[in-house]
Chain A
Amino acid sequence: MNSILEMLSPSYLLFPALLGTLIMGLVCPMIGSYLVLRRMVFLGLTLPEIAAAGVAFTFWLQQTGVVPQLGQSERGIVMVGSLLFTFLGMGLLGYLEQRGKGLAEGRLAAAYALAGAGTILFMVFNPAGQIEVLNLLKGEVIALSRGELRLLAVVFGLVFLAIMVFRREFLLTSFDRDLAFLLKGRQVIWDVSLYLLAGLIIAFGVIMAGPLLIFGFLVLPALAAKPLAQSMSSYLIVSALFGLAMAFFGFYSSVRLDLPLGPTDVTLGCVLIFLAYALRQISPKRLVLLILPCFLFAFFACSAQPPGPPLPDAKSIHADQLWLAKVKNSTALPLLLPATNPLRSLAEMAGKISSDYRQSVMDLLRENLRVELEQRGFKVSLPEQADARFPAFSSADATAARVAREGNLAGAIFVSEIWRWEGETQKYVRALVDFKLVRVNDGAVLWERRVQRAIPTPSATNLGQASADAARELVRDLFAG
């Protein structure tokens, strides 16, 4: 899965997330360029903190009953709070800058500290909402829905348009305030507008993608473009191109290698900065000649993902019997699915019954594996049917074979080990699972595969269903190769 061409298809499940990241990667650096040139990079840190205070404040208002609880529309309400706080903060900072007293860095630092303190205090006032606040601030662009993408496109599109239309005014006010005053009179409106545009994309971006990614998009492409640009227009264009490259290749690496998007993009952005400073000695023509093959190489290297070896068929491995071991859970989490019977849930909460009756992710995975293996002609048996004491097998082949031999099993054993299984929302599950087919006699590995990826579960309505869908999808993928 996940060649670049596949990702670019609108039918790709994570296409809204990819498109959203690209939109942010295009627009944020254009605002960030002005922040970098005005030496106000710290604003990129302060604004998300102010937005976070707005989020925490809104949750607190909801808890006190001033703002109604709206269930699915919660994100919209929180967005309003985030926007309000950001705009108020921006207005105040713009006004103080216009007065021109004190250090700009000092004002931003004070605002950052105040917003941080406010966020914590509002969470303390509302302990029940802490998890929601933290989840929203963490932001996961991968969970972006099509509706949210539309909203993002409209807001960021308007910001992009404003930057293009008023680019001369923003440049003049940023570079030479005296000339701006002579030519156009007092310029408060342009300072405030720039702050408001920055506030708008940050308030929306923080909730949809998290503060780290937004800060990275704002600042890193603009810093990387600086050594390569000799004019303002080329600076804005190169910043936006770097932002797009950072967004696209960061997203690709994140999905392909199952890495968190924010840190991946930020790392890529820092690499771009080093590259840009290294490349500035090269003439523009040579630079194009150098970058083009690199880009093509990256494109094709990313496109070509060799499929793993297929599972050998039952006859070729001469195993009359295939033992399907219990799936080992190495995540340190119980991975139990939510109960569907409310009475049993109540009994469990009251301590009357244990949670053992609940199905786990390991059960789901094993059941799906059994069905698939049997469809491929294997005669599947379960080790605990031979001896109830058999534990879940580790994916270490020698250990698995030794334990099987000690339990007098013969033939081959299929072992699975879950290292990671996270379904923070019902929209996707991040999984890292090892699968091995081991010959019991000598511990030889007949087949193995590691699956590490985010599995979209768009039709799931709760975390249990998301896990069930993900387990089915994962096993189907495993044998499809």
Chain B
Amino acid sequence: MRKMAAMNIDSGAARREDRNNALNPLVSLQNASLGYDLAPVLKNVGFDIYPGNLVGLAGPNGSGKTTLFRTILGFMPLLSGTLLRGCPLANFGYVPQSAVLDAQFPLSVGDIVEMGAYGRVNCLRLFPAQEKKKAFAVLERVGMAHVKKKSFFALSGGQKQRVLIARALMVDPKIMVLDEPLSGVDEESRCSISELFIHLTKKSGLAVFFSSHDLEMVQRVADKIIRIDQGKMWVEEQGARPS
């Protein structure tokens, strides 16, 4: 799968690659069964996510949203069916629920965001200045540059989510996968995070795939809604959103 994203060496090839990327799905699941220890949680799952898509995954708690995400990200194996990824895993910007991160670690906001670059920084080198600049830039993009030196775990829920989105942006993602990014945050943060998703998909051409148990909120934000409930999945297309 990682070979699928092999770098092209001339600009003509790069243009062809761009056109292909627009046509090829970043994630394609066909007739997939997902679950733990051979016990499927979701059966017969199939959908595609293309660059620029803003896809919401809606379903009640315990319906299998996190299982679907973890399978797409390769943390757990597919039980059956086909899963194709249109880019390397290193280009998946993953935003976990902030509650799963261990508050024991004394990490500043800067530390958290810089982690997004660890995949490309050689261990023998000091952290490059250009990566530091980039970390500052992504923090500015999510409106959190002013708290760079603050302790991550001292931030509010909404601020933490935005910092984790900045970390996901730091990996140079082609697709962002966000697990319940809008739960536990105030209304103002919800609006700003939703606007950020729309901006990322429409202006930057990223695909954004996020989950929520709040269907109403997903309907407000997403172009395409994947709904799961009681082991079944179906897709609802929304009207085109003005860019």
Contact = CB atoms under 8 A, between A and B. Distances in A.
A223 to B, nearest CB: 11
A67 interface: no
B73 A231 contact: no
Contacts of A172: 115, 118
A37 B105 contact: yes
B106 A234 contact: yes
- Name A's interface SS: helix
Given A181-B74, A183-B171, A176 B96 contact: yes
Interface of B: 73-75, 89-90, 92, 94, 96, 101-102, 104-108, 110-111, 115-116, 118-119, 121, 123-124, 127, 149-151, 167, 171
B94 A179 contact: yes
Contacts, number: 75
Contact of A183 (B75, B106, B110, B118): B118
B118 A178 contact: no
B94 A230 contact: no
A232 interface: yes
A208 B166 CA distance: 47
A168 interface: yes
B75 A235 contact: no
Contacts of A176: 96, 101, 115
B73 A230 contact: no
A182 B106 contact: no
Given A226-B106, A234-B106, A179 B151 contact: no
B75 A184 contact: no
B106 A230 contact: yes
29 contacts: A39-B104, A165-B123, A165-B124, A168-B118, A168-B121, A169-B118, A172-B115, A175-B115, A178-B73, A178-B75, A178-B96, A179-B94, A179-B115, A179-B116, A179-B167, A181-B75, A182-B73, A182-B74, A182-B92, A182-B171, A183-B171, A185-B89, A230-B106, A230-B149, A231-B106, A231-B107, A231-B108, A232-B111, A234-B106
Contacts of A181: 73-75, 89
B115 A182 contact: no
B89 A182 contact: yes
B104 A183 contact: no
Nearest to A229: B106
B101 A175 contact: yes
A438 B96 CA distance: 79
A166 interface: yes
A181 B150 CA distance: 26
Nearest to B127: A168
A182 B87 CA distance: 12
A279 to B, nearest CB: 15
A468 to B, nearest CB: 54
B109 to A, nearest CB: 9
A232 B92 CA distance: 25
Contact of A230 (B101, B108, B121, B124): B108
B110 A231 contact: yes
Contacts of A169: 118, 123
Contacts of A165: 123-124
Contacts of A183: 90, 118-119, 171
B151 A230 contact: yes
A431 to B, nearest CB: 45
Nearest to A33: B106
A228 B90 CA distance: 34
Contacts of B74: 181-182
Contact of A184 (B73, B94, B102, B118): B118
Contact of A37 (B90, B96, B104, B111): B104
